[in-house]
A and B are shown apart, each in its own frame.
Chain A
Amino acid sequence: MDVLYFAWVRERIGLPREKVESNASTVAELVAELRGREERYDVAFSDLSALRVAVDQELTDFDASLQGAREVAFFPPMTGG
């Protein structure tokens, strides 16, 4: 699946998007896998209360299923308007 990062999450991880091969069944499991990769991921995901997630461009929560998901995005709370 494609994993996308925006705003300071993108800056901390150091890239805007990447292909990730994962068997994670939920967003939380994917986060745990990413945190185990390298310190920059671990730091970016250290406080989930400061993050939001979208699966296939719909806002959801960290318990959400990844079954059939093609795109997962992580970002800070939005500041539109």
Chain B
Amino acid sequence: MRVVVQEEPFDLAAETARFAEGEGGSGAIVTFTGVVRDLDDAPLEAMEIEHYPGMTEKALRKIAEQAVARFNLQDVLVIHRYGRLIPGAQIMMVATAARHRRSAFDAADFLMDYLKSRAPFWKREITAKGESWVAAKDEDEAALERW
């Protein structure tokens, strides 16, 4: 299990290859990557992500441990960035390795639902019109009830 919180970009291909190398016997590897998307109404200049150093790492580790136990994962990787990101930049990735694909897909989905609402990150959108904090969505909280 590897959990990383960093400001600098990560190399998706290299991280995925490194994760896969250690998982010869797993059978299934799923990766998900979150990317800064442009806005519908005004062009997004940047997204700033604030986090709670110390708690962030603990919260991510706890979520990853829950995923390992619940989906019987062989391994899990979580990388999440903070700081100023431009549209198109990779924000975060998860990778899961399991014996069978269903567990690997479900675990990645579970990780994403929990990362959205239970990891202490806060996003702020910066446009030519001004800056605003991204509000949490009710549906993100409701998504946790699936699990």
Q: Which of A4, A77, A79, A81 contacts B52 (CB 8 A)?
A: A4
Q: CB < 8 Å: which of A4, A58, A59, A76 contacts B133?
A: A76
Residues in A with CB closer than 8 Å to B118 are: 59, 78, 80
A6 neighbours in B (Cβ, 8 Å): 50, 52, 120, 122
Is B121 touching A80 in the complex (CB atoms < 8 A)?
A: yes
Asked if A57 and B52 sit within 8 Å, CB to CB, the answer is yes
At the interface, is chain B mostly helix, strand, loop or mixed?
mixed
Q: Is A75 an interface residue (CB 8 A)?
A: yes
**In the bound complex, CA of A4 to CA of B119 (Å):** 16
With A and B bound together, what is the CA distance between A79 and B119 in angstroms? 8
- The closest CB in chain B to the CB of A54 belongs to B55
Contacts of B99 in A (CB 8 A): none
Interface contact B133-A7, CB-CB below 8 Å? yes
Q: Inside 8 A of B136's CB, which chain A residues have their CB? A: 76-79
Does the CB pair A81–B115 fall under 8 Å? yes
Our pick among B34, B91, B120 for the contact of A75 (Cβ within 8 Å) is B120
Which residues of the partner chain A approach B34 to less than 8 Å between Cβ atoms?
81
Instruction: Check if B90 is an interface residue, CB within 8 A of chain A.
Output: no
Tell me whether B55 and A81 are in contact (CB under 8 A): no
What is the bound-complex CA distance between A19 and B124, given in angstroms? 27
Contact status B80-A80, CB under 8 Å: yes
Query: By the criterion CB–CB under 8 Å, are B134 and A73 in contact?
Result: no
Bound together, the chains give a CA A73 to CA B120 distance in angstroms of 11
**B116:A80 contact, CB within 8 angstroms:** yes
Do residues A73 and B52 form an inter-chain contact, with CB atoms below 8 A?
yes
Is the beta-carbon distance between B120 and A80 smaller than 8 angstroms? yes
**Interface status of B123 (Cβ within 8 A of chain A):** yes
Binding site for B on A (CB under 8 A): 4, 6-8, 54, 57-59, 73, 75-81
